[in-house]
Amino acid sequence: MRAKRIPWDGGAVSAAWHEAKGDTLLALTHGAGGTMETPSLRAYAAAMAARGVAVVRFNLPYVEAGRKAPGPAVRDEACWRAVATYLRPRARRLYLGGRSYGGRIASHAVAAGAACDGLVFLAYPLHPPGKKTELRTAHLAGIAIPMLFLQGTRDAFADPDLLARTVAALPGATLHHIEGADHAHAVRGRTIDDVMTELADVTLAWMH
């Protein structure tokens, strides 16, 4: 693993590269309250790299600025587009994604034209907790590339039935449920490494 900074119009963001021998690259960023060092994100990235998929984890601009919560989403979307443009020539196949907010913003960047081969959502925030009518799905119908939703059955941000109906209406979208997992993919009686190993296996099979 090596450290790097990726440039964008607002400066540069910190990134960590998990190198692998394959020709596929997965770019990931964090949820709204996390950073690229979120333990589950690191564990998932390491598991993917061990399976031959190179991974780049990076911080969104508000984290680089020392803030704990996102500001205007348009700024994070612009950063995502710049990261995708920077990484596109560096792999035959490029996938974008991330935890919760980070994955959602990646999908907005793709809906706005960022080029990649697929999207990987680690706990997509379908709706705010307890607000099932406030769905964050309008832009997803305009995305033509494959999408993988890795979602816990106890995720307060995604009612399982609502998510299943949402994914079923999206051509090329795939849903994998993690039984008993919450929004952080924590499962009682399982280690985070065990859960991330499951998710890495599912992701690799989906990519192939």
pLDDT at 194: 97
How far apart CA 80 and CA 98 sit, in angstroms, is 11
pLDDT more than 90, % of the chain = 93
**25-32: average pLDDT:** 97
Place of tokens 């990519």: 207
Question: Is residue 3's pLDDT more than 80?
Answer: no
Question: Is residue 26's pLDDT more than 80?
Answer: yes
pLDDT at 89: 94
- Partnered with residue 98 across adjacent β-strands are 29, 121
Place of tokens 């080029």: 115
Residue 15, helix vs strand vs coil: strand
The predicted-structure confidence for 86-96, as pLDDT tens digits, reads as follows 999 999 999 99
Residue 1 is given by DSSP the state -
**102-122: average pLDDT:** 97
* Structural domains of the chain in order of their starting residue, each with its CATH number: 2-207 (3.40.50.1820)
The predicted-structure confidence for 122-131, as pLDDT tens digits, reads as follows 999 999 999 9
Question: Is residue 192's pLDDT more than 90?
Answer: yes
The pTM assigned to this predicted structure is: 0.96
Mean pLDDT of the chain: 95
Whether 53 contacts 204, CB under 8 Å: yes
How far apart CA 48 and CA 56 sit, in angstroms, is 11
Q: What is each CA distance from 40 to 11, 36, 59, 114, 177, in whole angstroms? A: 27, 10, 15, 26, 17
pLDDT-based confidence at residue 4 (cuts at 50, 70, 90)? confident
Which residues contact residue 21 at a Cβ distance below 8 angstroms, ignoring those fewer than 6 apart? 52
Question: Is residue 38's pLDDT more than 90?
Answer: yes
